[in-house]
Homo-oligomer: A and B are copies of this chain.
């Protein structure tokens, strides 16, 4: 590509609402432009990156035996009524009426449509497993779209769905997709982690997220320092700590704590170690419980994990904190003074809490706490569960090493959906015995547009983007220096341009005229993030040399003109 015939669309500044680096750099490097809130046009440079990602995704899924299809973006509402999600999706789903006043939606996802296809096209276990995918626009009407394409409304997703006659078949395909996803992210050249995840609203049983590591990520990932274990912090198990509970060393005392409304107050005013305190949180009980409320107790320095808690028997799901007034009515004290001793409702303690001795806890009397509480002697628990977020230093649930925490951007997610949709839509096949059987489903997503942003979050410096070779819009940039003064410079540049293209490289030749200074040309190439740059100059050619610089390295080097192509080939493994 010649820069003079290209729309590079680089700009110096990004608007104030671009707060994360990938959003800023995607605007500055001319990858995208905002059309309206959460709606972006992909300009030539950005689209080249998108296409490369799509190609890698397609090749690996085809290799794994998945079949590509393409469903309409506009879907009839009837199917969403069949699964009950027409209302459940809420404001996120863009709804519309056609000219005949029939209800349609712009697909935020395609479980309904693909299951409709499966129930029509699949009739026998012999056709299974069958794994369909598509790469396509989705629309989710985010209340507050932000971070550019990271959380836009219209976006491109690879969504895949597999169908199975039994759980064994589903497990096998789930593993097949897990491996395919690893190959995809390996080939994209990104540092990532597949992590155990919660399957959230989608329902289902097993779930992994693929997280691209980046300091600005919104997700926290726990991983073992001594094994492959990794899980979303929301999902990582906090195992029973090793060791035994220390014996009581003092009598329990009831103490006036009029100014201690929080754990922090208590620790500060009474010189208590925070690990010797507990938090007693009151939530609504599930409908089938004897009591209206139930208490959840975690150590003072730990956080309740709502996702773990709401899955427990006796706890209302989704989790709902009890209103203060109701707590006062039932327990007779405010949230700042609650504890297990004399608590008139059932309670669940976190595993870490069971090891405490001589700890402080609210007395269920306003303005008073018990100090030196000890289990069994002063109060007993009947139920122990994992109800907290893990923290750095916790033992890894895999049994090897301790946990560390990283931040990541979720770019892929695989689920086992079970029969949630196939049951609702009656998607049966005949099994080996000729009996109708509801199919089981797996579901596999990749955020194609989001990968572009995640790649930039992970790979940039103060000059711009640093693309991995595999997804760079151009692999090589050529800058002829002061070509207007030297025809030879332009001749050599053109020759390299042609040769590299013939070898299959995508090359940007900056042939803009002298009104564009060399400094601007260098800055544009660094901003756009082209991995390999060749500078052709009069002075260099006098010695038979050109200059080479890898975008990721600080140093540049002088290379013999007749060796530069071999160097680029070796740098790119071609």
Contact = CB atoms under 8 A, between A and B. Distances in A.
Interface of A: 5-7, 9, 33, 35-36, 39-44, 47, 50, 65, 67-76, 91-92, 94-96, 98-99, 104, 106, 113, 116-117, 120-121, 127, 130, 132, 137, 139, 141, 143, 153-154
Contacts of A41: 69-72, 113, 117
A141 B121 CA distance: 27
A74 B106 contact: yes
Top 8 nearest A-B pairs (CB, nearest first) are: A96-B96, A42-B70, A91-B99, A39-B72, A36-B76, A44-B67, A41-B71, A72-B154
A73 B70 contact: no
A26 to B, nearest CB: 14
A74 B139 contact: yes
Contacts of A74: 39, 94, 106, 139, 153-154
Given A74-B106, A74-B139, A7 B44 contact: no
Contacts of A139: 73-74
Nearest to A70: B42
A152 B170 CA distance: 36
B99 A7 contact: no
Given A7-B127, A73-B154, A94-B98, 13 more contacts: A6-B67, A9-B121, A33-B120, A35-B71, A35-B72, A35-B113, A35-B116, A39-B75, A41-B113, A43-B117, A44-B69, A99-B143, A106-B106
A7 B43 CA distance: 36
Contacts of A47: 68-70
A68 B44 contact: yes
Contacts of A98: 94, 141, 153
A119 to B, nearest CB: 12
A563 B121 CA distance: 39
A50 B35 contact: no
A265 to B, nearest CB: 41
A91 B101 CA distance: 11
14 contacts: A7-B67, A7-B130, A35-B71, A35-B72, A35-B116, A36-B72, A36-B104, A41-B117, A43-B69, A44-B69, A74-B106, A95-B96, A99-B143, A137-B137
Nearest to A42: B70
A505 to B, nearest CB: 15
A112 to B, nearest CB: 10
